[in-house]
Amino acid sequence: MRIVAFGDIHENTYAIGKIEGLSDASLVIITGDLTIRGGIAKARGIIAQVRQYNPNIYALAGNMDLREVESYLTNQGISLHGRGYMIKENTGVFGVGGSNPTPFKTPNEFEEDEIAAFILKGYQEVKDAGIKILISHTPPVDTKVDRVAGGHHAGSRAVREFIEKYRPNLCVTGHIHEAGGEDRIGETLIVNPGMLKNGGYVEIVTEGRSLTALLKQAAGI
């Protein structure tokens, strides 16, 4: 199974059509921030553009999306926020949207205990899966993928604590645009593809009980 994941779209959709093999992917995952403080109308347009290439989508609302975006994704049956899905007989994907509090008072922020509860709720639905993939808009704190331009670590303590305790195979994240890259917490690979307008995305391939996840670059971006 091949999964393509990207996020931090912020209404700039040009790179979507540049992602190699997007139409052939088994699943497309959007990791949050479809809009710039936008609501359902903006989010609906973004989802529609992705669906032109591939209708098999799960998505999160990020911290820059209005709370109503989460309601829209839920009504579409594609939200990963506090939810988990078995996407193949031994692979589970689950997630948490929004972010921990920021200095910018963005529309969709949660306290750390709320984030912890959302992750655990989704995890319970896939806990027996052989391969577990966490999609968290906000990265775990104190990693290479949560460091902002000034050097401060801005990620979530709750996300990190969950990973340390439950050890999912993979965490795909975003939120911190300048911290694209990868890191590890124990056995868990953490990948942040950065803003979509810069062409970054993650290609995840599962086969049996094995998983690989690679940072890739959209053609011509």
Region 99-117 average pLDDT: 97
Edge-to-edge strands, sheet with 27-30: 57-59, 27-30, 2-6, 200-207, 210-217
Per-residue pLDDT tens over the stretch 128-143 = 999 999 999 999 999 9
- Asked if residue 204 lies in contact with residue 170, where contact means CB atoms within 8 angstroms, the answer is yes
In this prediction, residue 155 has a pLDDT band, given cuts at 50, 70 and 90, of very high
The per-residue pLDDT for 109 is 98
The per-residue pLDDT for 152 is 95
User: In this structure, what token pair is assigned to residue 131?
Assistant: 């391969």
The per-residue pLDDT for 35 is 98
Asked whether the predicted pLDDT for residue 93 surpasses 90, the reply is yes
User: In this structure, what token pair is assigned to residue 112?
Assistant: 């750390």
The per-residue pLDDT for 214 is 98
Per-residue pLDDT tens over the stretch 77-87 = 999 999 999 99
Percentage of the chain beyond pLDDT 90 is 98
The per-residue pLDDT for 51 is 98
In this prediction, residue 20 has a pLDDT band, given cuts at 50, 70 and 90, of very high
Helix (H, G, I), strand (E, B) or coil at 27: strand
- Expressed as residue numbers, the domain containing 203 is 2-217
Per-residue pLDDT tens over the stretch 28-79 = 999 999 999 999 999 999 999 999 999 999 999 999 999 999 999 999 999 9
Domains in the chain, number? 1
Phi and psi angles of residue 188, each rounded to the nearest 5 degrees, phi first: -90, 125
What's the DSSP call for residue 101? -
| Average pLDDT over all residues of the chain | 97
Phi and psi angles of residue 2, each rounded to the nearest 5 degrees, phi first: -120, 125
What is the rounded CA–CA span in Å between residue 112 and residue 160?
Answer: 11
- Asked if residue 7 lies in contact with residue 33, where contact means CB atoms within 8 angstroms, the answer is yes
What is the rounded CA–CA span in Å between residue 60 and residue 30?
Answer: 6
Classify residue 219 by burial, with Cβ atoms within 10 Å: 0-12, 13-18, 19+: exposed
Packing angle between helix 157-166 and helix 112-124, nearest 10 degrees? 30
The per-residue pLDDT for 114 is 98
Asked whether the predicted pLDDT for residue 203 surpasses 90, the reply is yes
The per-residue pLDDT for 129 is 97
Residue type, 204: I
- The enclosing domain of 210 has a CATH number of 3.60.21.10
Asked whether the predicted pLDDT for residue 89 surpasses 90, the reply is no
What is the rounded CA–CA span in Å between residue 191 and residue 100?
Answer: 18
The per-residue pLDDT for 88 is 84
* Angle, CA of 49, 1 and 137, to the nearest 5°: 55
Asked whether the predicted pLDDT for residue 209 surpasses 90, the reply is no
Supply the pTM of this predicted model.
Answer: 0.98
